Structure 1
Amino acid sequence: MISTCFSPQYRPARVIAALAGLTLAVSLALFATAAKASNLPPTDGEMQGFTLLKQRVAAPTVPFQTGEGGEIDMTAFQGKVLIVNFWATWCAPCIKEMPSLDKLQAAFPDEDFEVVAINQDRGGKRVAEPFLRDKLGLENLDIYLDAKFALGRAFKNRGLPATYAIDRQGNIVGGMFGPAEWDSEDAKKLVRHLLDEKAGG
């Protein structure tokens, strides 16, 4: 069973209400099931829960914060393949998968690839940094913050963890809600496909 966390921002009641509105139309379109085809990124094994878009769309450009206190948005990563993960220290499934995201980052050290792990604790860096560095002992992930949930809302997250793949052109390829083993061979094949594909996907 997929385990997903809900904060007050992601209460199921709010999500159900949003589903009835036009504001979630984009989210529903993003997660429409794509037909299997040889030119699509592989979603086998550990990536079975990863849903591909029928048509890629530009990632939201709502600003979020770096660990150094600066402001950034998704356009800053243009030219890179991204795995964008929303997480929080109070979310047990998030914590469980963080080491695998750290290992995925380490698996592609010399390529145009980045795991963008975006923390959503209200305490921001004060909470996220010691948790990531000291408690979990992770060193390969940069710290990014979305303490006011602005970017999470723009992505229409239904809970945490929420993870998306974004291609070199800044378009969302697909995503999943719930944890996964991101250092698995299945996840690496997904990333490798995106790194190797021609411009335009």
Structure 2
Amino acid sequence: MSNKRPLGLPSVRLIMIAAVAGILAGAVAVYVKGGLSGNGPDGAAAVADARCAGAVAHARTVSELAKGQIAALVATPQPRPLQPLSFKGPDGAALSLTSFEGKTVLLNLWATWCVPCREEMPALNALQAAKGGDRFEVVAINIDTGGDEKPKAFLDETGVHKLAYYRDSSMGVFNALKKEGLAFGLPVTLVLDKKGCLIGSMNGPAAWDSDEAKALVEKVSAL
């Protein structure tokens, strides 16, 4: 008899890991949320790029809704575009984040050797199944080195079929985000608004099929 948990139900282990991550991120989140209230004349957060001026309100929304199962998600104090990130799509064609402009994106980096990644993949799959569409997509990029066999086999074994298969076997995406101070390990998850501006980030897993995650996606996607 299979002992796989029902898709969309976070394991106790994942909930505990996410809870600890939330506690550890608490002090940072309080600081960032305070910073988002701003000390300037109009109380706005600083903007690192003029193209992301409208993203200040989006980052504030992340700050307000990052609680419960996604408490470790930290709003970006200075919303900005990320440097170009190159990876491959399901058909093997080259893609970049500009390919997703017009959608709110939950960008996630994962690998089969990363135990927390394996734990959270069904939750990401469930979030895509529930909220994916013209306004939102979970873009989960696998960074295993080598061929496609192992990551594809893992997705099949765990019933993760709602996520499109994005791949970067060079680990270039991870290294680029590491240089920006956004990736310290795996999994790493970023929230990008419809213009591709970074408005939130998290290192570590979360129950992305939780009510809190869905509420965040609904709100940010509607902005």
- Could you tell me how far 1:2 is from its partner in structure 2? 4.7
Q: Tell me the secondary structure at the aligned position of residue 34 of structure 1.
A: helix
Match of 2:162 in 1: 140
Summarize the alignment of residues 27-106 of structure 1 with structure 2, pairs less than 5 Å apart: 33-35=32-34, 39-41=60-62, 42-106=65-129
CA distance in 2, matches of 1:110, 1:119: 21
Q: Which amino acid aligns with 2:33?
A: A
Which protein has the bigger helix share? Answer: 2
Gaps of 5+ in 1: 4-31
**3-state SS of paired residue (1:53):** strand
Deviation per CA, 1:120-156: give whole Å up to 9, x if none. 1002422211211x21111100111111111111112
How does 1:146-185 map onto structure 2 within 5 Å? 146-156=168-178, 157-185=183-211
Provide the residue aligned with 2:217 in structure 1: 191
- Measure, in 2, the Cα distance between the counterparts of 1:96 and 1:2: 10
Matched with 2:41 is: none
Amino acid at match of 1:105: Q
Contact 1:60-1:151 at 8 Å conserved across structures: no
Structure-1-length-normalised TM-score: 0.78
Does the 8 Å contact 1:59/1:166 carry over to 2? no
Matched letter for residue 144 of structure 2: D
Post-superposition offset of 1:104: 0.2
Q: Is the 8 A contact 1:89 1:121 kept in 2?
A: yes
- The change in CA–CA distance for 1:109 and 1:158 in structure 2 (over 3 A counts) is closer
% identity of equivalent residues: 38
Unaligned segments of structure 2, at least 5 residues: 1-15, 19-30, 38-56
Matches of 2:132 and 2:144 in 1, distance apart? 28
Q: Give how far 1:163 is off.
A: 0.5
Runs of 4+ in structure 1 deviating by more than 3 angstroms, as ranges, are 36-39
Match of 1:29 in 2: none
After superposition, give the CA deviation of every residue in 1:80-138 in whole Å (9 maximum; x if it has no partner): 00101100001110000000000000111444110000001002422211211x21111
**2:104 and 2:216 mapped to 1: Cα distance?**
11
Shift of 1:34: 2.9
* Length, aligned pairs only: 168
Separation in 1, partners of 2:89, 2:149:
13
Opposite residue 40 of structure 1, the aligned amino acid is T
Q: CA deviation at 1:170?
A: 0.3
- TM-score normalised over the length of structure 2: 0.70
Q: Is the 1:60–1:74 Cα contact (8 Å) retained in structure 2? A: no
Q: Is the 8 A contact 1:84 1:117 kept in 2?
A: yes
**For the structure 1 residues 110 and 72, does the alpha-carbon distance in structure 2 shift closer, same or farther, using more than 3 Å as the test?**
closer
